[in-house]
């Protein structure tokens, strides 16, 4: 004879159990074991089967709450303005903004030249990019200084793995694929040279900086960070006069800069990395403004002149890698 308790137990779905495959990794001289590292192999059919079993288990366990889930979703959706427009911002004579439309899942990025009263131009419609795909996320969205080219990165697998493209906004040609596994990107002031960083496949660590001139097939390796504790990222100062290469771990940082109008020039080191010291750099007028914790636990703001000849805080020129891929 069954009891209500045993009947409930019989109806409760059984969770899948992942196999344990012992793997030892040596990191910084320490051996660490990982029984589930095999689950990182996304192309392995067994990994896919296990994840599908996990999803099926979750669906079965939550099935009694489905009416409540539907009610919550409808309530939240009713509080969202599906057709909406973000506040536009002015950049180089264009007003940029994004908007959403009822029934469409992703934003539509647009711009108007000169005035908000002028005709709208769609620069990037994520709904179109998402057609035939299960997922779509926008990473970077970077118009060139003259507004002709748009560099953007997208992830269509949900693994935060972004592919960099460049689109000519003055034509109807298809976007050009530049690189995969891209983390950051920045235009130089010549409107043709694009810098970008890529990740190391095994660790997802951003470790290389490349330079690419649009229209060419060459991708020049500018910098490679070999210390596994450090990531790299590229950007422009707010003044847009300089490109900034940031190199950082959790507690230590290093920054190099390059005049944005000299994309093939030498990078200059702001200050060498010192353990447990962090700093970040921006530019305004004739000075770099540096936020740093070099004198204590808290950060201070210091200023240094831009001219390398007069810099006490800024160090040597750095001739970086010159190889290409």
Per-residue model confidence as pLDDT tens digits over 7-52: 555 578 899 999 999 888 888 888 888 999 899 888 899 999 999 9
Structure tokens at 209: 């900086």
In this predicted structure, the answer to whether residue 282 has a pLDDT above a threshold of 80 is yes
- Kindly give the residue spans of alpha helices, DSSP state H, lying in 29-185: 45-62, 66-78, 126-129
Task: Specify the residue for token string 């095999």.
Answer: 38
With H, G, I as helix, E, B as strand and everything else as coil, classify residue 73.
helix
Q: Are 93 and 116 in contact (CB under 8 A)?
A: no
Residue 14 burial by Cβ neighbours in a 10 Å radius (0-12, 13-18, 19+): exposed
> Residue 195's CB: how many other CB atoms inside 10 A?
24
Percent above pLDDT 70 for the chain: 91
pLDDT tier for residue 3 given thresholds of 50, 70 and 90:
low
Residue 33 pLDDT = 87
Tell me what pLDDT residue 319 has.
43
| pLDDT surpassing 50 at residue 210 | yes
Q: Average pLDDT, stretch 138-164?
A: 96
| Rounded Cα distance, 285 and 304, in Å | 11
Indicate the pTM of the whole model: 0.81
| Average pLDDT over every residue of 195-212 | 95
Spell out the long-range contacts of 210-219 with Cβ–Cβ below 8 A and sequence spacing 24 or more.
210/179, 210/325, 211/263, 211/264, 212/178, 212/179, 214/149, 214/166, 214/176, 218/324, 219/179, 219/324, 219/325
pLDDT category at 311 given cuts 50, 70, 90 is: very low
Per-residue pLDDT tens digits for 128-146: 999 999 999 999 999 999 9
324: which DSSP letter? B
**24-to-39, 217, 227 alpha-carbon distances in Å:** 15, 41, 21
Q: From CA 110, how far away is CA 107, in angstroms rounded?
A: 10
Q: How far apart are CA 211 and CA 223, in angstroms?
A: 10
| Count of other CB atoms within 10 angstroms of residue 102 | 9
Q: What percent of the chain has pLDDT over 90?
A: 77
Measured in residues, the chain has a length of: 325
With a cut of 60, say whether residue 59 has pLDDT above it.
yes
Distances (CA, A) of 240 to 189, 209, 257: 8, 19, 12
- Average pLDDT taken over every residue of the chain: 90
Closest by CA position to 235, among listed 219, 251, 257: 257
Q: Using CA atoms, how far apart are residues 164 and 182, in angstroms rounded to an integer?
A: 6
E strand or H helix at 99: strand 94-100
């Amino acid at each position: 004879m069954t009891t209500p308790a045993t009947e409930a137990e019989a109806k409760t779905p059984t969770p899948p159990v992942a196999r344990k495959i012992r793997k030892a990794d040596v990191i910084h001289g320490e051996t660490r074991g990982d029984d589930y590292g095999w689950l990182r192999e996304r192309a392995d059919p067994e990994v896919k089967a296990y994840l599908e079993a996990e999803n099926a288990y979750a669906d079965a366990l939550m099935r009694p709450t489905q009416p409540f889930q539907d009610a919550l979703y409808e309530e939240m959706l009713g509080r969202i303005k599906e057709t909406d427009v973000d506040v536009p911002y002015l950049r180089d004579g264009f007003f940029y903004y994004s908007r959403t439309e009822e029934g469409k899942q992703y934003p539509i990025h647009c711009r108007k030249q000169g005035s908000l009263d002028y005709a709208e131009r769609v620069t990037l419609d994520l709904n179109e990019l998402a057609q035939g795909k299960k997922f779509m996320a926008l990473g970077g969205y970077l118009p060139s200084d003259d507004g002709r080219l748009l560099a953007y990165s997208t992830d269509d697998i949900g693994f935060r793995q972004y592919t960099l493209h460049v689109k000519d906004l003055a034509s109807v040609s298809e976007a050009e694929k530049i690189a995969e596994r891209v983390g950051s990107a920045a235009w130089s002031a010549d409107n043709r040279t694009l810098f970008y960083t890529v990740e190391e496949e095994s660790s997802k660590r951003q470790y290389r900086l490349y330079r690419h001139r649009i229209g060419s097939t060459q991708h020049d390796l500018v910098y490679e960070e070999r210390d596994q504790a450090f990531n790299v990222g590229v950007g422009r100062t707010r003044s847009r006069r300089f490109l900034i290469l940031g190199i950082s771990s959790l507690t230590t940082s290093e920054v190099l800069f390059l005049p944005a109008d000299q994309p093939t020039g030498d990078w200059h080191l702001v200050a060498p990395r010192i353990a447990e010291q962090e700093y970040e750099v921006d530019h305004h007028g004739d000075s770099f403004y540096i936020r740093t914790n070099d004198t204590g636990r808290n950060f201070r703001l210091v200023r240094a002149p831009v001219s390398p000849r007069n810099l006490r805080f800024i160090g040597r020129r750095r001739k970086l890698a010159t190889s290409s891929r």
